[in-house]
Structure 1
Amino acid sequence: MTRFSILAALAAGGLLLLGCDSDCESLEEEAAALRDEYAICEPGDECVVVEPLGIPGESTCLDPLRCGHAVNASRDLDAFHAEARRLSEEFEDCPDCEYGGCPHFVANAARCDEVQRRCVLAEAPVE
């Protein structure tokens, strides 16, 4: 292999990795948009706490969906879970997957914040 061939191969590999990072960032953005869309509420709406993938105890490296969060109960939660699973499966090939701790919240305690107009978790007291 000539020096040019080696350099060309390294450059192509670098571009592929850059594309992967770009795809990973895009998946993170899509996941955040999904989470935020399902959290929108109006005063008086019921909010619920959901596991991100719809399966208790199952986790994902996709940060915006990593922990349980509050969503509007009137939304199609099956569609939410299906899209969250799709995004999480695509994200599995991304580098730097780290499972971090999730904030503690009171089980099934979510409410519509009337100022932010989004569902929020009720935080558990620190013990």
Structure 2
Amino acid sequence: MSNWTAAIRRHYEEFWKSASSRCEFSDGPIWQLPPDFEVVHLLRSDTVALHVYATVGMSRPSDVDRLELFVLSRQQNIKLVELLYMAAHFHRTGNSLGLDHSINIGRPWLEGSQCDHALISLPYGHFEEPPDFGMIAR
């Protein structure tokens, strides 16, 4: 783990007030992602239990527009880990993702859902101000 990814992971743990654990995932061309990239799982339980899945290292220190993603769910689900790996892979090897971009997931994000697209937005309702990852890693 680099200082960069350690700082991102520490930020998540401090914000969500939860220890993080690495989500194991080995499907697809993950070797094309940065070697220290990972998706972590945290459990937010201050109000209602929510599972938090978050990218660590999707953005790089040299990126002009740094971007990390997280998704919340009331249930644990490996498909959410896959979704974040897919988004990170597209971001690093295809077209860069950014705020207000949508991603065609290609299937419902969770079983029983009709939602098959994801929107990248600021984390409204979770932060007073979005974090500046440039400051976090210094």
What TM bracket, shorter-length normalisation? under 0.3
Q: TM-score, normalised by structure 1?
A: 0.27
Q: TM-score, normalised by structure 2?
A: 0.26
| Structure number, greater radius of gyration | 1
Greater fraction of residues in helix: 1
